[in-house]
Amino acid sequence: MTAKILDGTVLAKKLRADFKTRAEALAARGTRPGLAVILVGEDAASQVYVRNKVNACAQAGFHSEKISYPPEVEPGLVLAKIAELNADPEIHGILVQLPLPRHFDSDAVLKAIAPEKDVDGFHAENVGALMQGNPRFIPCTPYGIMKFFADAGIELKGKEAVVLGRSNIVGKPMAMLLMQASATVTICHSQTRDLLFHTRRADILVAALGRARFVTAEMVKPGAVVIDVGINRLPDGKLCGDVDFGPVSEIAAAITPVPGGVGPMTITMLLANTLEAAERGAH
Ligand code: NDP
C-alpha cells in the first residue's frame, strides 16, 4: 500500500481562499480582522514563525501588528502592552510567541490575554472550555489536524487513536478533540512503558514528540492514518518530522509530510481563529 498524502499546502490554500472572502465581507461591514503578535527575544525559529504569521495575515487581507522586544525586557512592559491590546477594538486576536525568556512567567503572560482574544487557545479559561466540549478557540495545531480528517473523510468514531506527546499546545488538546470525535484515545509520553504495543494498534497515530524519524514502519499498523507534527532540523540543515516518512508511507493509508503537512495548517488555523474572533465581535 502507498499512503495517500495529506497535503497541508493544498488544504491550507483552499481554506485561506474562504477566509479571504469572509474577511472581505466583514471589512465591507466596517471590521477588518486584526491580529497582534508579540515576540520577545531573538530566537531564530521564533522570528521565522512570527514573520510567517504576519505574512499570512497580509495575504488574507487581515490587519496585523508585530510587537518586538529585546530578550532582557521587563515583563511588566509586555503585560502593559497586552492590556493595551486587550482594549484595542482593531485587534481581535493576540498571540505571544513561545517560548519566552526564562525570567518570564509564561502562565501569567498567557493569562493576561483577554480570553476572547486568545487565538492560540492557551488561556486556562479556553483550555477549560475545550475540555468541556464547548470550545471558544481550538489550539491551532490540533485544529488543523482535525481539518485534515474532515477534508479527507477520515472517520474517527470508534477508532483507536494514539497520540505521542502530552504537551499543552499539541498532545493534550489533540487527545481531547479526538475523544470528543468519539475515538478511543491513548496518550503516550516519555514514561510510557511499551510504546510499540500502543502504536501498533493505532488506527490514527499522531506523533508530536520532537524526535527526528522516531516513528518507524515497524511501529505502525498497516492501513493506519499517520499525522506527523514534529519539526526537526537534521545536521545537514534539512527539516524532517517525527515519522520515518519513506518506509511508513509504504504501509500507512494516509500520512502528512514534513514539510508541507501540519505546519501550513497551523498558521491557517490561526487565521481561522482570528477571523472567528472578529466575526463574533461584529455581531
Ligand atoms: P514538547 O517538547 O512540549 O513535548 C514533547 C512530548 O513528547 C512530551 O510529552 C514528551 O514526553 C514526549 N516524548 C519525547 N520523547 C519521547 C519518547 N522517546 N517517547 C515517548 N514520548 C516522548 O513538544 P511540542 O508538543 O511543543 O512539539 C512536538 C513537536 O512538534 C516538536 O518537534 C515541535 O517543533 C513540533 N511542533 C510543530 C508544529 C507545527 O505546526 N507543525 C506546532 C507545534 C509543535 P514527556 O512529557 O514525558 O517529557
Q: 227-275, pLDDT tens digit by residue? A: 999 999 999 999 999 999 999 999 999 999 999 999 999 999 999 999 9
The rounded Å distance from CA 215 to ligand 1 centre is 13
Residues 13-25 have pLDDT tens digits of 999 999 999 999 9
| pLDDT for position 282 | 79
Q: How many domains does the chain have?
A: 2
| pLDDT for position 281 | 84
| pLDDT for position 30 | 95
| pLDDT for position 283 | 66
Please report whether residue 192 resides in a domain: yes
What number is the average pLDDT over the span 110-125?
A: 97
Which CATH number do you get for residue 67?
A: 3.40.50.10860
Please report whether residue 37 resides in a domain: yes
CA separation for the pair 258, 66 (Å, rounded): 27
- For residue 46, the enclosing domain spans 31-115
What is 177-204 written as a DSSP string?
Answer: HHHHTT-EEEEE-TT-S-HHHHHTT-SE
Helix (H, G, I), strand (E, B) or coil at 228: strand
Tell me: do 69 and 176 sit in the same domain.
Answer: no
The rounded Å distance from CA 61 to ligand 1 centre is 33
Q: Are strands 254-255 and 204-207 parallel, antiparallel or unpaired?
A: unpaired
Mean per-residue pLDDT of the chain: 97
Cβ of residue 173 lying under 6 Å from some atom of ligand 1: no
Tell me: do 164 and 77 sit in the same domain.
Answer: no
CA separation for the pair 65, 54 (Å, rounded): 7
| pLDDT for position 243 | 98
Q: Is the peptide bond prior to 99 cis by the omega test (within 30 degrees of 0)?
A: yes
61 HSE (CA, 13 A, CB side): 17
Mutation probe of ligand 1 site: the residue of 98, 169, 231, 270 with most atoms within 8 A of C-beta: 231
Q: Which has the closest alpha carbon to 139: 130, 148, 149, 150?
A: 130
Please report whether residue 275 resides in a domain: no
Please report whether residue 172 resides in a domain: yes
Is it the case that residue 50 has pLDDT exceeding 90? yes
What number is the average pLDDT over the span 130-150?
A: 98
172 C-beta neighbours (distance < 10 Å), count? 20
